[in-house]
């Protein structure tokens, strides 16, 4: 089942994009709205044993998931645990917490 089936859509037909629409041969563009994230409480997060690292240039949630869980596809656990949906929500010097036990991370984030 596609993750987009239940997503809200928006129609972009604003005049400011007329040149883009003309270039693409369309009159409007359908865009999917970003889903809202439901983060767990700090109390739940604090109850989990974690590795703590300092975020630096070149890091990504995928690289951290590969390093700590052996599977880059588990990046979303680290992202959710840190209340950061994407790397753009993290800056150099931020402390990133990575659940030591992936099951604990899933219980809290999933």
Question: Under a CB-based contact definition with an 8 Å cutoff, are residues 23 and 17 in contact?
Answer: no
Per-residue model confidence as pLDDT tens digits over 54-93: 999 999 999 999 999 999 999 999 998 898 988 999 999 9
- pTM tops 0.85, yes or no: no
Per-residue model confidence as pLDDT tens digits over 21-62: 899 999 998 888 766 666 677 787 888 999 999 999 999 999
CA distance 103 to 14: 46
Band (pLDDT 50/70/90 cuts) for residue 2 is low
pLDDT at 3 over 80: no
CA distance 27 to 21: 6
Q: For the chain, give the mean pLDDT.
A: 87
């Amino acid at each position: 089942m596609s993750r987009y089936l239940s997503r809200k859509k928006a129609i972009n037909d604003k005049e400011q994009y007329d040149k883009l629409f003309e270039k693409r041969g369309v009159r409007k563009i359908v865009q999917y709205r970003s889903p809202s994230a439901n983060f767990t409480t700090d109390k739940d997060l604090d109850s989990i044993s974690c590795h703590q690292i300092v975020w630096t240039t070149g890091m990504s949630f995928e690289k951290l998931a590969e390093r700590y869980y052996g599977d880059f596809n588990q990046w979303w656990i680290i992202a959710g645990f840190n209340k950061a949906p994407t790397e753009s929500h993290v800056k150099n010097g931020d402390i990133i917490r990575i659940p030591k036990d992936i099951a604990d991370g899933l219980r809290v984030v999933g």
